[in-house]
Amino acid sequence: MNLLIIGAAGMIGRKLTARIAADGGIGDDPVESVMLHDVVTPVPPQASAVPMQTETSDLGSPGEAERLIAKRPDLIFHLAAVLSGEAETDFEKGYRVNLDNTRALFEAIRSVGDGYRPRVVFTSTIAVFGKPFPATIDDEFLSAPLTSYGSAKAMAELMLSDYSRRGYLDGIGIRLPTICVRPGLPNKAASGFYSNIIREPLNGEEAVLPVPETIRHWFASPRSATNFLVRAAAVDTALLGDRRNLSMPGLSCTVGDQIESLRRIAGERVVARIRREPDATTLRIVERWPENFNTARANSLGFVAETSFGEIIRIHIEDELNGSFVP
């Protein structure tokens, strides 16, 4: 099996690449080669059981999607996106990357013809849902986003389902919870503070909390996000029918719950590094996002996530801090 990972230089792309490099396959299927693509040059793992090449280009440039698909990858992970905060402030860029480039990819696949029908795993978002919400969003709830990011992703979800229905590709869209705790530097996602208020204090640095502690949200760890992708690549899509997009499992908690979990694990000295600095723009975005889900459909297909925020913090300490930190 030959793979193409679009958005391979991003955090989730790097985690997925490392997983494939270590496992040498997806489920029971061995991987023969991996093409890593992004607008910045991806860095393959130093040790890999699978040959990996890199491509650096803009997927939306004329002919670029066709050039990547000409090699007929069997499995495509489409992870590339402009995140929520940037998509809201740069309307044109958000739609170009999140919607137009996705259609360019799907059209490139369709144009091959000759029975070519790759599996496409598309990362969507819980931002495809907008208020008013029920207490718990189930698999039947209407997709009605209230941000440009969520709107572009919702339209891409519809395309994924339609191109799959028409037989041009075999698609599955996974709506990711907010992935926390993200490693590395802060990004332009409006949700970035959810990670910042854990990551920076554990690193001995100050973090800014721009919203009230009562804000509730839906979370999963980077480790779970990687597991979601691997499971989506292997799942029997016949079980999806024409409904090709799934909300992923996670856990619902408030910012206050996050901070209390950090306090139990790391102590008051670490928690004291969180500085309250309200920001109306950030609050306006995140308070329109979902708070809780019933993901029975995804659960029945073998997708699983953490059950406590303390578990998410411990995963971050294990995976990013070598299992320990200095309070």
* Pick from 162, 178, 173: nearest CA to 76: 173
Residue-wise pLDDT tens digits, 229-251: 999 999 999 999 999 999 999 99
User: Rounded distance, CA 240 to CA 25, Å?
Assistant: 23
75-78/2-6 β-pairing: parallel
| pLDDT interval class at 64 (50, 70, 90) | very high
On the question of pLDDT at 326 being above 90, the answer is no
Q: Is 130's pLDDT higher than 80?
A: yes
Q: How far is Cα 145 from Cα 38, in angstroms, rounded to an integer?
A: 27
Catalytic residue among 149, 163, 168, 194: 149
Residue 324 reports pLDDT greater than 90: no
Q: Which residues contact 177 (CB under 8 A, 6 or more apart)?
A: 126, 218, 219, 220, 248, 249, 250, 305
Contact 312, 318 (CB under 8 A): no
Residue 327: pLDDT above 80? no
149 is catalytic: yes
Residues 134, 145: Cα–Cα separation, whole Å: 15
Identify whether the C-beta of residue 190 lies closer than 8 Å to the C-beta of residue 210: no
Secondary structure (3-state) at 207? strand
| CATH numbers and ranges of domains, the chain | 2-177+220-247 (3.40.50.720), 192-218+251-292+306-320 (3.90.25.10)
Q: At 2, list the tokens.
A: 């030959």
**pTM to 2 decimal places:** 0.94
* pLDDT for 39 beyond 90: yes
pLDDT score for 187: 72
Residue 263's pLDDT band, with cuts at 50, 70 and 90, is: very high
Taking only the tens place, the pLDDT of each residue in 292-323 is 999 999 999 999 999 999 999 999 999 999 88
Distance between CA atoms of 33 and 10, rounded to whole angstroms?
19
Query: What pLDDT score does 118 carry?
Result: 98
Write down how long the chain is: 327
